Amino acid sequence: MRKLAAAALAAVLALGLWGCQEEQVPGREIARLLEGTWSASTEAGVDYVTFSQVEGTGGQVEWQSIEEDGGVTRHAKGTFSAPGGEAGTLQVEYTAFYDEDGALLPESQGGEYLPLDYAYSDGEVTLRQGDVTFTKQ
């Protein structure tokens, strides 16, 4: 009888501790909050990252680096996935690269990864790459 009571008490305590754990922010919530265009000022101009066609934990991503004179220095498209949690690194793979005139570059066969970090707090997401912070438009 004592063993049964001890097992029941242990189960109740375990459930209590499990219920007190902070819920992890799902990846689909992070992906939903990222949807739209983000920008960041850089030494050369402005970087734009657009998240679109979000479904589940991921979707499409497009990156454009625009110089101060309006020239495009980087233009890439690919996919992203948000792992979930209050902070993390988006899984971003760019598979198509374009020149300054918008023509697809021949080396677009392989993928390139460019890490973007996010943080979630109070229902909002911040987006960073290294020490550069992006602002949602």
Query: In this predicted model, what pLDDT tens digit does every residue of 106-130 receive, in sequence order?
Result: 876 556 777 899 999 999 999 999 8
Which domains are delineated in the chain?
26-136 (2.40.128)
> What pTM was estimated for this model as a whole?
0.77
Q: What average pLDDT score do residues 13-37 get?
A: 73
Alpha helices in 71-132, H assignment, sequence order: none
Look at residue 30 and give its three-state secondary structure: helix
Distance from C-alpha of 10 to C-alpha of 8, rounded to nearest angstrom: 5
The pair of three-digit structure tokens given for residue 76, joined into one six-digit string: 């890439």
Burial class (CB in 10 A: 0-12, 13-18, 19+), 52: middle
Count of residues making up the chain: 137
pLDDT of residue 106: 80
pLDDT in tens, 38-95: 999 998 899 999 999 999 999 999 999 999 888 888 899 999 999 999 999 999 988 8
Contact 45, 75 (CB under 8 A): no
